[in-house]
Amino acid sequence: MSDAPNASPGSHAKPILKGSCFCGNVSFAISAPPILSAYCHCTNCQRLNACPFIHTMHFAASAFTWMHDDTPELCLDSFVLPEKPHKQRWRCKTCGSCVASYNKNTDRWSVWGCQLERNEDGTIKDWDIAKPTVHMFYGTRVLDISDGLGKWEGYENQSAKLS
Ligand SMILES: [Zn+2]
Ligand SMILES: [Zn+2]
């Protein structure tokens, strides 16, 4: 069912981040820092999540591992948009939340910051590793954000800097 590599459970180095879907039936671990951690204001993220913007993180494929089962795909549904055949998104069969996606072109997995493990007070664990460093696709924002992070038209350093 999946041709995504490096997603077999327990086959990787010690995780530095962990996360799960809403119900917890599906979980993953990450063994290397993010290549990118950003607030994304693109219209795809907005429409796929019905959300003004999301916290996305990209990881090298070798850093991502499913943790919930010996046959992870049994608990997951996958989706591929015809106009983006290189990108496969994975959704928990029980609660329906989208938990990760794999991009064949870049050989990266993406997850969302809000699905990372939490501390007892509800804050995200290991925030220093996970926290966004930038706002991207800010040109299509539906909400102005006044924080200290850079705001880019598209990807950081590959598009116009807006502020
Ligand atoms: Zn679930
Ligand atoms: Zn986006």
Which range is least confidently modeled, 2-6, 21-25, 61-65, 128-132?
Answer: 2-6
Query: Which residues line ion ligand 1, judged by CB < 5 Å?
Result: 21, 23, 25, 92, 94-95
C-alpha to C-alpha distance for 51 and 72, rounded to whole angstroms: 27
Q: Name the one residue in this structure whose structure tokens are 């039936």.
A: 25
Among the CATH numbers 3.40.190.10, 3.30.365.10, 3.40.50.2300, 2.170.150.70, which is that of 17-151?
A: 2.170.150.70
- Please check the confidence at residue 1 and state whether its pLDDT lies above 50: no
C-alpha to C-alpha distance for 153 and 156, rounded to whole angstroms: 8
Instruction: For residue 99, give the ligand nearest its CA.
Output: 1
Distance of alpha carbon 33 from its chain centroid, rounded? 13
DSSP state of 137: S
Which pLDDT does position 8 carry in this prediction?
52
For the chain, the structural domain boundaries read 17-151
C-alpha to C-alpha distance for 125 and 30, rounded to whole angstroms: 13
Distance 70 CA to ligand 2 centre (A): 31
Q: What is the 3-class SS of 63-126, one letter each residue?
A: HEEECCCCCHHHHEEEEECCCCCCEEEEEECCCCCEEEEEECCCCEEEEEHHHECECCCCCECC
Distance 8 CA to ligand 2 centre (A): 26
Distance 15 CA to ligand 2 centre (A): 25
Q: Considering only CA atoms, which of 35, 25, 127 is closest in space to residue 66? A: 25
pLDDT in tens, 53-91: 999 999 999 999 999 988 999 999 999 999 999 999 999
C-alpha to C-alpha distance for 134 and 82, rounded to whole angstroms: 29
C-alpha to C-alpha distance for 61 and 121, rounded to whole angstroms: 31
